[in-house]
Amino acid sequence: MKKPKIKKDVLKKVMGYLKPHLPLIILTIILSTAVVTLTLYLPILTGQAVDLIKDTGTASFFRDLMGILTRMLIVTGITAILQWILSRCNNAVTYRVIRDLRRDAFARIQKLPLSYLDTKSHGELVSRVVNDVDQFADGLLIGFTQLFTGVVTIIGTLIFMLRVNVIVTVVVVLVTPVSLFVAGFIAKHTHDMFKLQSETKGLQTAIINESIGNLKTIAAYNREEEILGRFDKVNKDLQKCSLKAIFFSSLVNPCTRFVNSLVYAGVGLAGGIGAINSALTIGELTCLLSYANQYTKPFNEISGVVTELQNALVCVERVFEIIEREPEVPERPEALTDVKGNVKLENVHFSYVPERKLIEGFDLSVEPGQRIAIVGPTGCGKTTVINLLMRFYDVNSGKILVDGKDVRDVTRHSLRQSYGMVLQDIWLKHDTVRNNLLFGNPDASEEEMIAAAKAAHAHSFIKRLPNGYDTVLNENGGGLSEGQKQLLCIARVMLKLPPMLILDEATSSIDTRTEQKIQDAFAKMMVGRTSFIVAHRLSTIKNADRILVMKDGNVIEQGKHAELLEKGGFYTHLYNSGAAV
């Protein structure tokens, strides 16, 4: 009894997306009614033409026949025009709904907490927003195209048949429930099959996305066969569940066609008896047989629509899971303004999962303009501190204060606007070099952009590109070296010039000679700006105002480079082992 409730919930949500387009939907219903009415009027004209053949000897035969044929031609022409308009309306409603659905799904992804995104395959999320929505669009379009018209055809046909002969109409109505029962039974039992098919598609997309994005690493470790094996397994699973779902859903059509053949035979038999007994004319019998076909055809279409809608609802249900996912904790309306760069962490506790402790009782006080270096072994919590400073994650307890204000009491936008970040993980969008640099400060002038590029030692190689600053970069900066891409990221943050800086292995992909130049540029940029530097190279650590040495989520040592070496503690051990060089 649980599944139908889920379907009703999903249908209710879909109706919510259809509601803004109600005028177009009403127009669609009106047009469907008009098209069906004209279509059902044609058999009447055909029946009149058949009955007229008996009177071929009359003087008015040709005139009457031409009158009927003219009316048939006009009706056919008007029907074609109305069907074209109806198709345009159906497409408009469908793709506006799809536009709204994708917009809401993508907007929600932007607001989802990193704790959720970090546990989900990016390819699977892409599959939901792209593949599942496409599948829903197909089902919705078929629904608009055939469902409205089909329902109106069934109702209209019964009305027209009642006008011709009540007994034959009763025969048709008595056989109809069998067709509906068959279609409903099969559709109900294919829900889980389509759900499994949709989930397997998502898994396949995730493998493709992961493999293409990391092809160099896969090739370097000679793991092509292993990845191909994983893909083949998922591909075969998709083949099996798709064949199973399609096989059972395809039973609807032949089963309903068999029932519809019974309807046609019943109409022919009852109508034939009526014609023999002079209760019907030959033209009326022809008309009823035509109506029998018109009446049964929508059941074939609707049964197919039910199958498509079943698949579409399963797909859109997965999209709604994203849209309805709880966003980040709601924020206060106050914004950080005129930031000086005073940062304090007071008794901060944080862990990604409750059972694994990470940062406990962390305290830190940073004065405006200070340069704080954070060092320590892998997994000690360096990047986690950065995540907390930027409020990508919220602390479990304790406080993080910027200029005396708890970061949870100000907008995330104003907080993140106060920081400039250069990460080890490079990200450049598919766009021109110019727009990638302006991503950090869209209002910057041409002169400011070039000055930032020169400061980051990126100007010279940018000018050597085919179109200079207007060169379009491939996805993630394809065509540039890792070092060149990182220089662009550095130039981007130099163009922003925020009051606080975060440099997380910012020069990891740059050669030593260029790094020295970058350090000089950073040194100038960091003057008067609070800076947090996560690095292992001594060149980025030794000039810091304070070095925090972390281990197991705690600061175990802190001080200047020379002071820490004199202590001969954990930092000295890191330094001597080369871990901090």
Buried-exposed string 128-138: b where 16+ CB fall within 10 A, e elsewhere: bbebbbebbbe
Q: What pLDDT was estimated at residue 50?
A: 75
Compute the distance between CA of residue 146 and CA of residue 140 in angstroms, rounded to an integer: 10
Q: What pLDDT was estimated at residue 509?
A: 61
Buried-exposed string 497-510: b where 16+ CB fall within 10 A, e elsewhere: ebbbbbbbbbbbbb
CB distance 39 to 291 below 8 Å = no
- Give the β-pairing of 530-534 and 371-375: parallel
Amino acid, res. 212: I
Residue-wise pLDDT for 109-119, tens only, equals 888 777 777 77
Show the CA angle centred on residue 12, arms to residues 6 and 16, nearest 5°: 145
Compute the distance between CA of residue 243 and CA of residue 235 in angstroms, rounded to an integer: 12
Compute the distance between CA of residue 372 and CA of residue 343 in angstroms, rounded to an integer: 11
The DSSP symbol for 476 reads G
Phi, psi of 534 (to 5 degrees): -100, 115
Mean of per-residue pLDDT scores for the chain? 79
Q: What is each CA distance from 474 to 429, 433, 469, 478, in whole angstroms?
A: 8, 10, 14, 5
Neighbouring C-alpha atoms within 13 Å toward the C-beta of 341: 21
CB distance 32 to 152 below 8 Å = yes
Compute the distance between CA of residue 167 and CA of residue 155 in angstroms, rounded to an integer: 17
Where the chain has pLDDT below 70, the residues are 1-8, 54-61, 176-180, 182-189, 191, 213-217, 220-221, 252-253, 256, 299-304, 306-307, 330, 475-478, 506-510, 514, 536-540, 578-581
Query: What contacts 150, CB < 8 A, 6 or more positions away?
Result: 298, 299, 301, 302, 305
Q: Count the Cβ atoms, other than its own, within 10 Å of residue 167.
A: 12
Positive or negative: CA dihedral 529, 535, 539, 545: positive
Compute the distance between CA of residue 383 and CA of residue 368 in angstroms, rounded to an integer: 21
Alpha helices per DSSP H over 112-223: 114-117, 122-127, 133-142, 148-164, 166-188, 191-213, 215-220
Q: What is each CA distance from 311 to 106, 189, 216, 315, 475, in whole angstroms?
A: 22, 12, 37, 6, 33
- Beta partners for 501? 420, 531
Q: What pLDDT was estimated at residue 77?
A: 92
Q: What does the DSSP assignment read for 302-327?
A: HHHHHHHHHHHHHHHHHHHHHHTS--
CB distance 494 to 437 below 8 Å = no
Q: What is each CA distance from 178 to 147, 168, 174, 255, 449, in whole angstroms?
A: 19, 17, 9, 10, 73
Q: Domains plus CATH for the chain?
A: 2-323 (1.20.1560.10), 368-394+407-577 (3.40.50.300)
Task: Strands of 367-447 (E only): list them.
Answer: 371-375, 397-402, 405-406, 419-422
Phi, psi of 405 (to 5 degrees): -105, 130
Show the CA angle centred on residue 129, arms to residues 123 and 133, nearest 5°: 130
